[in-house]
Structure 1
């Protein structure tokens, strides 16, 4: 089962309808290997859904985040969203370009180095992100 199909199945299993708007939001995020703002999502979907409101976009994105289908981060006070890497079956972190939004996976998890400092503890969740300018933007 593809990560996209798994996301749709998660929606159904949690009691959510798989509306056309929800599917298109997920498709958009699935097909873009970068974080996107809610406004970018809305602008990308205006051709299919001319009257789609920011509230609809935010409500669905927040639902997807709650279901771990979509990842969320924040940069300069603005929320950014992308299809969850966990849906692809692997755990990693990202370098995020502050200019174009491109993400580069970081395969090493820095949390592993803290295990010695946390005897008897179990880390159940964490985040690690690096922000900067990607090589493509630096070259242009």
Structure 2
């Protein structure tokens, strides 16, 4: 999802587009992978003096609820990234820097056969480790 699509979705859901909301969207669009609320807060404090942690968290929750951001949990902390709108895929997530790499393969293709009489509502598959940059550091 790009910033324009995210703004359109925000407006469709009845939310105003403010400079702070645009800056949060741009931050996640430019980020290569998952980021924490703390990282976002540091970024926002540098460009919006006096911004509150409540404002940042409230917007993270709004974006997550309406599908702009997706989230995962790593080392007991919730991380966010811009929602992917391309074909179904999963992610490798670097535990050090949060970068992600798409994985086109889906293990559900094999698992569905073992769950023939079950209704599957959804699934999430993530692989954690170190990216080549963090591995060589």
* TM-score, structure 2 as length reference: 0.92
Residue 19 of structure 1 corresponds to which residue in structure 2? 18
Residue 107 of structure 1: which of 104, 108, 115 is its match? Answer: 104
Whole-angstrom CA distance in 1 between matches of 2:70 and 2:46: 25
Q: RMSD of the alignment, in Å?
A: 1.5
Structure 2 counterpart SS, 1:66: helix
Residue 52 of structure 1 corresponds to which residue in structure 2? 51
Q: Deviations over 1:49-72 (max 9, x none)?
A: 111122111111111111111011
Whole-angstrom CA distance in 1 between matches of 2:3 and 2:38: 22
Whole-angstrom CA distance in 2 between matches of 1:49 and 1:78: 24
Whole-angstrom CA distance in 2 between matches of 1:108 and 1:68: 23
Q: Which is worse superposed, 71-80 or 90-99?
A: 90-99
Residue 3 of structure 2 corresponds to which residue in structure 1? 4
Q: Give yes or no for contact 2:91–2:101 (8 Å, CA) kept in 1.
A: yes
Residue 37 of structure 1 corresponds to which residue in structure 2? 36
Residue 75 of structure 1 corresponds to which residue in structure 2? 74
> How many angstroms does 1:76 deviate by?
1.4
3 and 117 in structure 1: CA distance in 2 versus 1, 3 angstrom threshold: same
Runs of 5+ consecutive residues of structure 1 not aligned to the other structure: none
Whole-angstrom CA distance in 2 between matches of 1:125 and 1:52: 36
Whole-angstrom CA distance in 2 between matches of 1:27 and 1:135: 26
Q: Is 1:93 equivalent to 2:76 in the alignment? A: no
> How many angstroms does 1:122 deviate by?
4.6
Q: Give yes or no for contact 2:3–2:22 (8 Å, CA) kept in 1.
A: no
106 and 22 in structure 1: CA distance in 2 versus 1, 3 angstrom threshold: same
